[in-house]
Copies of this chain bind each other. A is one copy, B any other.
């Protein structure tokens, strides 16, 4: 087992009935000047916007609405100006991962005089970890990214065509996770979110660190909850327990508790980022297409087979003595489960008909993801092309 440091102080308020009695004090403990960040119309339509405004009516609220999916640096710049001009004490982020991610960078940008893009890329002497920051309180409305309990943020800068993952000094101070707020999430988005959660878990499960059994066991446990409840949430969108298990699974999958002792970097996410960048397909759907092909590519390596067989036994409850057969059956189960959620399972189904861009995508994925040096099983550009190609049929 490898050495590690773990520290995650986010105060989680999970379930129905926390927002009404607790939101005001959770925000006001940090001061009276609040930057209220949100996305589109959905929180106005659902009544959440009015509820929040009403609960905080004695505080000074400035608003930053319209934060889009794949949050843009322009929103962060706008937030920086509002935070400075109004000397905000606390940011209230209400929405999905994009709203919270943008808020995380605004949090330090209030105390930075340059362009906040510097904070994202750690350039021009900007290091958000050495800059003061405004605490964040959030109300999550989508189960997927885990940003509500981690230090990650992804910000896009369309002028220079970059989408960069960055880390911030602190996790959100208080996160309100009310699963009933996700009951209106459409089936396709629920499927994509659930596949994303499974992919986060899979990326962390397949790691080279040895004898890391507590972490492996935790991941297996969360996987089984996702496998069980995602199809139920899709069939029965207002099933509270389904939404609750998915929401808590998404948080636990990416709050750093399940990968404390891991050593290698992720593989399928870098491969998928190219699909989304070139063809603008839904991230979770892309992960669902690529994951079984990546698994097929790496199962026969003698170092991976025992772990694939373990996944088969402990997560998919398969039995047998032949590890390779077990591994193949686990891949089939993964694929069948994705399909059962209504997700497309080949590239042509999402409009990618030929391999025109595969070489360029593979080069970029290998470079950005350090797949040839830091992955679980190292991949060359040719390996990556093969995985894309296998996804065509």
Binding site for B on A (CB under 8 A): 1-18, 179, 210-211, 213-214, 216-225, 228-229, 240-241, 244-245, 248-249, 252, 257, 260-261, 313-314, 317, 319
Closest B residue to A1 by beta carbon equals B244
CB atoms of A211 and B7 under 8 A apart? no
- Picked from B179, B221, B313, the residue with its CB within 8 Å of the CB of A221 is B221
Q: Which residues of B contact A240 (CB under 8 A)?
A: 1
Q: Given contact pairs A3-B15, A214-B248, A319-B319, enumerate 8 new A-B contacts (beta carbons under 8 Å).
A: A1-B244, A4-B12, A14-B261, A211-B241, A214-B221, A214-B225, A216-B221, A314-B314
CB distance from A227 to the nearest CB of B (A): 10
Closest B residue to A10 by beta carbon equals B7
Known: A3-B17, A9-B7. A225 touches B213 (CB 8 A): yes
Q: Which residues of B contact A1 (CB under 8 A)?
A: 15, 179, 240-241, 244-245, 248
Q: Which residues of B contact A7 (CB under 8 A)?
A: 9-12
CB atoms of B222 and A220 under 8 A apart? no
Q: How many copies of this protein are present in the complex?
A: 2
The 3 closest A-B pairs by CB, nearest first: A217-B221, A3-B15, A9-B9
The CA of A244 and the CA of B2, in the complex, are separated in Å by: 9
Known: A218-B218, A319-B319. A260 touches B14 (CB 8 A): yes
The CA of A179 and the CA of B221, in the complex, are separated in Å by: 24
The CA of A293 and the CA of B17, in the complex, are separated in Å by: 40
- Picked from B2, B14, B179, the residue with its CB within 8 Å of the CB of A5 is B14
Closest B residue to A241 by beta carbon equals B211
CB atoms of B6 and A12 under 8 A apart? yes
The CA of A313 and the CA of B319, in the complex, are separated in Å by: 12
Q: Which residues of B contact A9 (CB under 8 A)?
A: 7-9
Closest B residue to A220 by beta carbon equals B221
- Picked from B3, B18, B223, B249, the residue with its CB within 8 Å of the CB of A14 is B3
What are 14 A-B interface contacts by the 8 Å CB criterion? A2-B15, A3-B15, A3-B16, A5-B13, A5-B18, A6-B12, A7-B12, A218-B218, A218-B221, A218-B252, A220-B220, A248-B260, A257-B257, A319-B319
Q: Which residues of B contact A223 (CB under 8 A)?
A: 217
Q: Which residues of B contact A248 (CB under 8 A)?
A: 1, 214, 260-261
Closest B residue to A18 by beta carbon equals B3
| Max count, chain B CB within 10 A of own CB: residue among A3, A10, A217, A244 | A217
The CA of A40 and the CA of B317, in the complex, are separated in Å by: 48
Known: A1-B240, A1-B241, A1-B244. A217 touches B211 (CB 8 A): no
Q: Which residues of B contact A224 (CB under 8 A)?
A: 213, 217, 314
- Picked from B213, B218, B221, the residue with its CB within 8 Å of the CB of A228 is B213
Q: Which residues of B contact A314 (CB under 8 A)?
A: 224, 314
CB distance from A90 to the nearest CB of B (A): 17
CB distance from A172 to the nearest CB of B (A): 12
Q: Which residues of B contact A260 (CB under 8 A)?
A: 12, 14, 248
Q: Which residues of B contact A252 (CB under 8 A)?
A: 214, 218
- Picked from B6, B13, B216, B220, the residue with its CB within 8 Å of the CB of A217 is B220
